[in-house]
Amino acid sequence: MKLRSTGRGRHYSPARGLVESALGLVYRKDWPARAWGRYPPATRVRNVRYVLPLERGDRPPLRIAFMSDLHVGPTTPRRTLEQAASHVRALRPDVLLLGGDYVFLDATPQKCQRLQGLVAAIDAPVKLGVWGNHDLWTDHLALQSALASAGVRMLQNEHVTLPGPHDDIDIFGLDEPWTGTPDASGLPPGDRQTIDQQTIDRHCIVLGHSPDAYDFVRHAAPAVLVCGHTHGGQIALPGGRPLVVPGRRGLQWPHGEHTIDTTRVLVSRGLGGVEIPFRAWSPPDVLCIDIVHAPRGRPPTAGPGH
């Protein structure tokens, strides 16, 4: 019986522990994921594309792929995750970003091995990730080891500068807003810098688990915040209107693209499920974000595609 968090995550109540312990028994051998996976729409993953213009001089376009909420375990069909990884491989991204919630329930060796295999099969020069709430409630160090074996660097309130020719882009990973210890004091602001007698614009992309990350980073006006967590409600009405969405900002931005001042917020529906092993009118997705050059003074525009 699990009554407290086995990781460093906060807000894990005894009631949640009782529910998860019961689900671990009821969902033994992952039978719900296998059953749900026999329904073809359950494993149909959408590839949602965005084009984001930024002032970048003569640098080539940057392609970022984003996967979130894999929830490896009894509520996510194996074929859903395999199709998502196949989509991302076909994109040939320069950067793979992972938005957390890698497992549901405990981080067993079997789940860690599956996670490692899925991510390792994706070829990207840079792989970065942040933690989700479910990760921090279990053995996140085991998950970190699995992800490191797949080439992923986990970011916890820190940033990295991408290698050239994309070294005008910083990616800041915020710790999970609700269960972690988020601290955006080290977030680099977007500005103009002179390097080797050349003036360049720097841009910051924030990688967060949930839309609530925005409240921690808004002071720095990052170019982009990309996140997941909401599942698009997981259960929605026809047309995609969610019934229940976690988090204050999640209610406001359950999925899709939102522009707040100069920051674009991109919210993925993610891939897996929790508690209940199915989705309704909230299809799983991965994001493809193409960052292209837009001359200074031209109004920036963005556009999604599928």
Tens digits of residue pLDDT in 87-144: 999 999 999 999 999 999 999 999 999 999 999 999 999 999 999 999 999 999 999 9
- Higher pLDDT, residue 226 or 57: 226
Rounded CA-CA distance 175/131 in Å is 6
What's the pLDDT at 142? 98
- Cβ atoms of 21 and 261 closer than 8 Å: no
Tens digits of residue pLDDT in 40-74: 888 899 999 999 999 998 899 999 999 999 999 99
**What is the average per-residue pLDDT within 189-201?**
60
Residue 300 predicted with pLDDT over 50: no
Domains in the chain, CATH or no CATH each: 14-305 (3.60.21.10)
Environment class of 273 (CB within 10 Å of its CB; exposed 0-12, middle 13-18, buried 19+)? buried
Name the pLDDT band for 21 (thresholds 50, 70, 90): very high
Contacts of 2 (CB under 8 A, 6+ apart): 17, 20, 21, 24, 106
Residue 198 predicted with pLDDT over 90: no
Kindly tell me the sign of the dihedral angle through the C-alpha atoms of 242, 246, 248, 253: negative
Tens digits of residue pLDDT in 68-85: 999 999 999 999 999 999
Mean predicted lDDT score pLDDT of the chain: 92
The DSSP result for 232-263, as a single string, is GGSBB-TTS-BS--SSHHHHH-SSEEEEETTE
What's the pLDDT at 57? 85
